[in-house]
Amino acid sequence: MFYTNVSFILLFSILTILIRLSAFSIRKYVLICVSLLVIATWGWASLIIFIMTVLAGFIFADLISRQNLRLTQRLNKSPILFAGIVFNILLLILFKYRDFLFGHHLTTFLSDPLEKIGLPLGISFYSFHIISYLVDLHRGGYRRASFIDFLFYLSFFPHVIAGPIVRGWQLLPQLKLRRNFNRDLIFGSHLFVTGLFLKTICADNIGAAIDPYWKLSAPVIDASGHWFLALYYYFQLYGDFAGYSLMACGMARLLGYRLPVNFRSPMRAVGFQDFWRRWHITLSRWLRDYLYIPLGGNRHGIMRTSINLLIVMAIGGMWHGAAWTFLIWGGYSWFWFAG
């Protein structure tokens, strides 16, 4: 179910009213049930894989919390944390990157069922959610949440489809807050309507106009036409992604929760680094905190810093899609970012 469907918008309006009228103690249970139903609309396989991943993540979190690790210990001194990270990375490889990495070398016994399952809904997001949660738990950022709270954090439907990437410390504490809905009604509605406009009016219409130019039988255009095509494609990407992010933040506000900002006027950026600080902010910060800094950041000289940036940008590119074009885009971003 897409969040731009009229049927979803009507159902969400009813849900918002029910949440406002329901007792505080049952709100998260209602939202968990609704979130699981939203995931199930994309296929029962997506729901089953999601639940299995949540159970595995909770087990890893419980084992990490039982270790009572000191804050000064390094990540590679926790085999349980390492196993939890590898588990989620392997899931991503299995469902999203297997064709890119292995082509047709997988056996029919393995490839046929995976082809039928397809790409589970939101796996790129909840895998990163679990990894950040386990790392922060290991670092002593917070205590292990209950299973219900952990399930809510991962399944909360506004951020399931297209983010933003939410850290545990950004959402879990809100489950205990009795927020005044009236303060979020106007701003939440503003965010949702603005995002809906960017997605349906801007991105979808631009996409319909430029889609014929990606086909083999595309109309012939001159050099200036190619530049305009690239510009329109950028606007389509921005309207699509930023629109969904704004809708997610708006829905969360209307339900009594707040999600982090994911876009902050990227066209006003001064330089490439500033652009990355404004575009898909939650992904950029995730890559910085859980990949770039653990790799050493800029603490070991120019060459090591450049290599770290290349790794981060390559993975950032591949996170968007399993194709050489995304990897090349990551390398292109590294060239301008490192420069």
Q: Which residues are catalytic?
A: 320
CB atoms within 10 A of CB 215: 8
Q: Exposed, middle or buried, 213 (CB in 10 Å: 0-12/13-18/19+)?
A: middle
DSSP calls for 279-304? SSHHHHHHHIIIIIHHHTTTSSHHHH
C-alpha 269/C-alpha 267 separation (Å) is: 5
DSSP calls for 204-262? HHHHHHHGGGGSTTPPP--HHHHHHHHHHHHHHHHHHHHHHHHHHHHHHHHTT------
Best CA proximity match to 131, nearest among 69, 139, 101: 139
Which tokens go with 44? 């029962």
C-alpha 220/C-alpha 233 separation (Å) is: 17
Helix extents (H) in the chain:
6-21, 24-40, 44-67, 79-92, 98-102, 108-117, 123-138, 147-155, 168-171, 181-196, 204-210, 223-254, 272-276, 281-287, 293-295, 301-320, 324-338
Best CA proximity match to 100, nearest among 320, 281, 266: 320
Residue with tokens 């800029």: 298
Length of the chain (residues):
339
